[in-house]
Amino acid sequence: MIQHISKNALALALVAIVCVLVLGSLDLLTKPKIAEQRLLSQLAILQEVLPDATDSRALLADCTQVDAPEQLGRSGQKVYRWRQDNALLAYLLETTAPDGYSGNIDLLVAVSPNGTVLGSRVVSHQETPGLGDKIERRRSDWITLFSGKSATPADATRWAVSKDGGEFDQFTGATITPRAVVNAIYRAALYVQTHPELALLPANCEITP
């Protein structure tokens, strides 16, 4: 009986060890490459929003988490800071539009310290495919409209969809989604303007695996 059991146990262990050996060695071999890939992919998004950013690695590291659910949709959003030669050129903010048609819309917005939007992208959303999903860059160019638009507290009427009298077109049949996105970006830009201390906060983001 003991024999039988130990035979089983050893067999399974043996297979496990062989498997782990194979995987372990492969892991050692690929680890650096994978880490690099991961970094690259994260940078890719940042770079899309902020094409001018050159040393994006530094940008990734220079990140702080802020709690401003009122302005940025939820707490714990990350703010990356792009500095060149110690001058702060832009912020990259994670922001969330809480009032999408079917839920939250997560965005990444690049804003210059004076409140000009440099770029924006939707990171994730649940809007109706074919209707609300035109906010995706893959589906249409709409989201790029914001680049170069400046936002000040006085601009509130301008920062609206055209149906509400603003300067951003909504798409046919779906006003809610654009409205939500416009508002979110506007709020993010205002947030940057009203919180100059952002530049000074220590980098405290944990690096996502």
Ligand X SMILES: Cc1cc2nc3c(=O)[nH]c(=O)nc-3n(C[C@H](O)[C@H](O)[C@H](O)COP(=O)(O)O)c2cc1C
List residues binding another protein (CB under 8 A): 1, 4-13, 15-17, 19-28, 30, 33-34, 37-38, 40-41, 99, 101-104, 126, 128-131, 163, 172-176, 209
Rounded Cα gap, residues 51 and 63, in angstroms? 18
Positions 62 through 121 that interact with ligand X (CB under 6 A): 101
Residue with smaller CB distance to ligand X, 143 or 192: 143
Decide which of another protein, ligand X, none touches 177; Cβ closer than 5 to 8 Å per partner kind: ligand X
- Minimum CB separation from another protein for residue 44, in Å? 9
Rounded Cα gap, residues 113 and 109, in angstroms? 12
**Residues 189, 198 contacting (CB under 8 angstroms):** no
Give CA separation, 67 vs 28, 76, 104, 162, 179, in Å.
38, 5, 17, 31, 23
Half-sphere exposure of 201 (CA within 13 A, CB side): 19
Residue with smaller CB distance to another protein, 86 or 208: 208
Decide which of another protein, ligand X, none touches 41; Cβ closer than 5 to 8 Å per partner kind: another protein
Residue with smaller CB distance to ligand X, 95 or 170: 170
Please choose, from the candidates 183, 202, 208, the residue with its C-alpha nearest in 3D space to the C-alpha of residue 109.
183
Decide which of ligand X, another protein, none touches 34; Cβ closer than 5 to 8 Å per partner kind: another protein
Rounded Cα gap, residues 106 and 78, in angstroms? 12
The mark string for 14-33 relative to ligand X (x by CB under 6 A, - otherwise) is --------------------
Element (H, E) at 23: helix 2-49
Binding site for ligand X (CB under 6 A): 101, 127-128, 131-132, 163, 170, 173-177
